[in-house]
Structure 1
Amino acid sequence: MAPYFTLFFLFTILPVLISVIISFTYFNMLELPRWVGWHNYARLFLEDDVFLIALKNTVLFAAITGPLSYIACFLFAWLINEFSPKIRALLTLIFFAPSISGNIFFIWLIIFSGDTYGYANGFLMKIGIIYEPIQWLHDPKYVLAIVMLVQLWLSLGTSFLAFIAGLQTIDRTLYEAGAIDGIRNRYQELWYITLPSMKPQLMFGAVIQITMSFAVADVSMALAGFPSVQYAAHTIVTHLIDYGSIRFEMGYASAIATILFLIMMSTNLIVQKLLRKVGS
């Protein structure tokens, strides 16, 4: 295991440690880092109003899309698992395809186009709900909800496959033993046999879904632009991209990344504690 741990330390642990150290400096990539202590963090929470908007959007996004996508991944996997192998393989491909199709946001750009040619506007105008086109992706009232919708559509990815694999590895004799012990319906089987037997996959899926929900950026930038109107779809990661890739304030960007890392770690610990109680 030494090669794995060496690579893990060099390309995961070490960069995180370096980023945390850089977060306490002013570093523009042209000069040597200059120690500024807690200034970057104070600036984040006391001076940077856009970061507070991004923090609110990210927490709201994660609180809604994280649980919904996690539950959807499991439910679809659970239902698909009941079909024959050929049908199961086809349905798995259909559900998994959006997450591996690359940049397919243009489909949603057409659906939510701000003119009468947009499918959403055309349909709503045809049935008489609206009488003029809505600027879906340029109106702060709608843009975050649309980004959430698209992210949910894309969320049937790695977690979905992990749940499918976990369901396939459950020993069928457990269900027979459960029937003898008094389990009478599918919901009792789910709670007392299926979920406890899939704890490793459930843990893995939780980590993946939390990471995806907190690290959203591509969907927001592709649909709402960068920056989005009134920062309505601005997230912590897009704020990080702004300061790290455009302004090259690497110390400040590292502080943003550290805050995001702490939020994700804390959420993962809470979710893992909850999952340990499943079926117990």
Structure 2
Amino acid sequence: MAVRANIPEQNSRRGFLPKLSDRISEFWAKYGIGYLFLAPFIILFTIFIIVPVFTAFGLSFTYYNMIQPAKWTGLTNYRVLFMDDDVFLIGLKNTLIFALITGPMGYIMSFMAAWVIDQLKFRNAFALAFYAPSITSGIAMSVVWMYFFSGDRYGLVNNLLTNIGLISEPILWNIDPKTILPVIIIVSVWMSMGTGFLVFLAGFQNIPKEMYEAGAIDGVKNKFQELWFITVPLMKPQLLFGAVNSIVGSFGVFDVAVSIAGMPSPNYAGHTIVAHLYDYAFIRFEMGYASAVAVILFAMTFILGRLAMKIFSSKDI
């Protein structure tokens, strides 16, 4: 009786394997070619993105100087970051101020510039002028801008302010702690408009003209109503890309700040999170502590990126 009782169970197991193989064959026939084309990206993304992220997360709980084996320290690096490292807190404050000003300002300005230029006749020439700064090195652009903010009387800004009587002596723009961060913000906003502007301009050009004609029939009266009721809802994918790109760029400022104020800057007025990470990773070679800084930066950008995805979700389109 026991043997007979096991026969249905054995038959069910034998029948399960053909069903599983049939499902695998059906899945491969339907999606196999697509996954083969996607495989190079998945492999490279895993090797150069996913693995380093998890490696940095693991090293953030250790003391690792690249010579000796990593030594487990638990939450010590994070405790030191927020309780004992005053320079990191200054860099965190500077980065947040920079991101809160540069991110929204560059985002809005690039969107409005793309909206205006899309309606002009020679938009390709204007698009090239706006996009050029984004493909230029931040260090090179900082050198150009330092001609404007030079600390002597021959600097263009100092010369202008002196001629109109607003100042009696030159302002040391890249030395005075009060003016270092504003100068970095001005240069970064000007440089951040290129990529977002190009994406927004492409989004404007991909909107069917029939949508505006239908909007005019439904009561849309001017360009601003077209922008709010038609353009913005149809451009949510481009708006999302621009928002994420703006968040990553504003939190990742480093080369512009170092070129303008040096490293370390006076009173750490131009110090950022990335500069702090660079200091501990490639100058002091304390990779465990630098990994903790990188994890904090990753968490901040990830949370804000998810928030942007919630705001600009295109599921309703």
Return the TM-score normalized by structure 1: 0.96
- Aligned counterparts, 1:201-280, within 5 A: 201-276=238-313
**Within the alignment, does 1:100 sit opposite 2:135 as a pair?**
yes
| In the alignment, structure 1 residue 67 sits paired with structure 2 residue 108 | no
Structure 1 spans left out of the alignment, 5+ residues = none
1:194 is matched with: 231
Count, aligned residues: 278
The list of structure 1 runs, each at least 4 consecutive aligned residues, that deviate by more than 3 angstroms after superposition, is 276-280
More off after superposition, 187-196 vs 244-253: 187-196
Which residue of structure 1 lines up, in the alignment, with residue 86 of structure 2?
Answer: 49
Percent of aligned pairs sharing the same letter: 51
Give the residue type in structure 2 aligned to 1:159: G
Rounded to whole Å, the distance in 2 between the matches of 1:231 and 1:186 is: 46
- How many Å separate the matches in 1 of 2:142 and 2:270? 15
After TM superposition, the structure 1 = structure 2 runs for residues 103-252 of structure 1, keeping only pairs within 5 Å, are: 103-252=140-289
Residue 149 of structure 2 contacts residue 155 of structure 2 at CA under 8 Å; is this kept in 1? Answer: yes
Distance of 2:214 and 2:125 partners within structure 1: 31
| Amino acid paired to 2:136 | S
Q: CA 1:55–1:120 in 2, change beyond 3 Å: closer, same or farther? A: same
Aligned-partner Cα distance in 2 for 1:182–1:118: 53
Letter in 1 for 2:127: T
The alignment status of 1:89 with 2:110, answered yes or no, reads no
Contact 2:273–2:297 (CA<8 Å) still a contact in 1?
Answer: yes
Pairwise CA distance, 1:251: 0.4
Q: 1:267 offset after TM fit, Å?
A: 1.1
Give the residue type in structure 1 aligned to 2:177.
P
Distance, in Å, in 1 between the alignment partners of 2:293 and 2:80 is 11
Quick one: which of 69, 73, 80 aligns to 1:32?
69
Aligned-pair distance for 1:192? 1.5
Q: By percentage of residues, which structure has more helix?
A: 2
Give the Cα separation in 1 of the matches to 2:211 and 2:316.
14
Residue 271 of structure 1 and its aligned partner are, at CA, apart by 2.4
Q: Does the CA contact (< 8 Å) of 2:237 and 2:312 recur in 1?
A: no
**Residue 119 of structure 1: CA displacement?**
1.3
2:253 counterpart letter in structure 1: V
Q: Aligned letter for 2:298?
A: F
- The secondary structure found in structure 1 opposite 2:78 is helix
1:170 positional shift: 0.7
Which of the residues 78, 82, 91 maps onto 2:115? 78
SS in 2 for 1:138: coil
Query: Which stretch of structure 1 is more off in the superposition, 266-275 or 45-54?
Result: 266-275
Decide whether aligned partners of structure 1 residues 278 and 4 sit closer, same or farther in structure 2, where only a CA change above 3 A counts.
closer
- CA-to-aligned-CA distance 1:124-155 (integer Å, 9 cap, x gap): 11222111111111111111001000001101
Distance 1:214 1:181 in 2: 42
Q: What is the Cα deviation at residue 100 of structure 1?
A: 1.4
- Residues 99 and 155 in structure 1, CA contact (< 8 A), matched pair in contact too: yes
1:120 to partner: Cα distance: 1.4
Which whole-Å CA distance do the structure 2 matches of 1:171 and 1:277 have between them? 17
Structure 1: distance between partners of 2:188 and 2:315: 27
Between the aligned partners of 1:279 and 1:221, the Cα distance in structure 2 is 43
Look at both structures and tell me which one has the larger radius of gyration over its CA atoms: 2
Instruction: Give the CA deviation at 1:118.
Output: 1.3
CA shift, 1:277, in A, is: 8.7
Cα distance in 2, alignment partners of residues 276 and 183 from structure 1: 24
SS of residue matched to 2:74? coil
Secondary structure of the structure 1 residue equivalent to 2:65: coil
Unaligned runs of at least 5 residues, structure 2 = 1-37
1:278: Cα distance to partner? 11
TM-score under structure 2 normalisation? 0.85
User: Could you tell which deviates more after superposition, 93-102 or 58-67?
Assistant: 93-102
1:121 CA drift (Å): 1.4
Distance in 2 (CA, whole Å) between partners of 1:80 and 1:136 is 33
How large is the Cα RMSD of the aligned pairs? 1.5
